[in-house]
Amino acid sequence: MMETGDGIMLLVDKPLEWTSFDVVNKLRYILHTRKIGHAGTLDPLATGLLIICAGKMTKRIDEYQGMEKEYTGTITLGQTTPSFDLETLPSAPVDISHITEEVIKTAAATFVGNIEQVPPAHSSIKVDGRRAYSHARKGRVVEMKPRQVTVRTFEITACRFPEVEFRVVCSKGTYIRSLAHDLGQQLGVGAHLSSLCRTRIGEYRLTDAETIEQIRARFEAAPSMS
The residues assigned a catalytic role are 43
Q: Work out whether the CA dihedral 124, 56, 50, 155 comes out positive or negative.
A: positive
Relative to beta strand 69-77, strand 191-201 is antiparallel
In contact, 209 and 185? CB cutoff 8 Å: no
Instruction: Rounding to the nearest 10 degrees, give the CA dihedral for residues 102, 169, 41, 214.
Output: 100
Residue 73, CA atoms < 13 Å, CB-side half-sphere: 26
Is the CB of residue 201 less than 8 Å from the CB of residue 209?
no
Phi, psi for 166 (deg, rounded to 5)? -145, 165
Q: Is the peptide bond before 162 cis (omega within 30 degrees of 0)?
A: yes
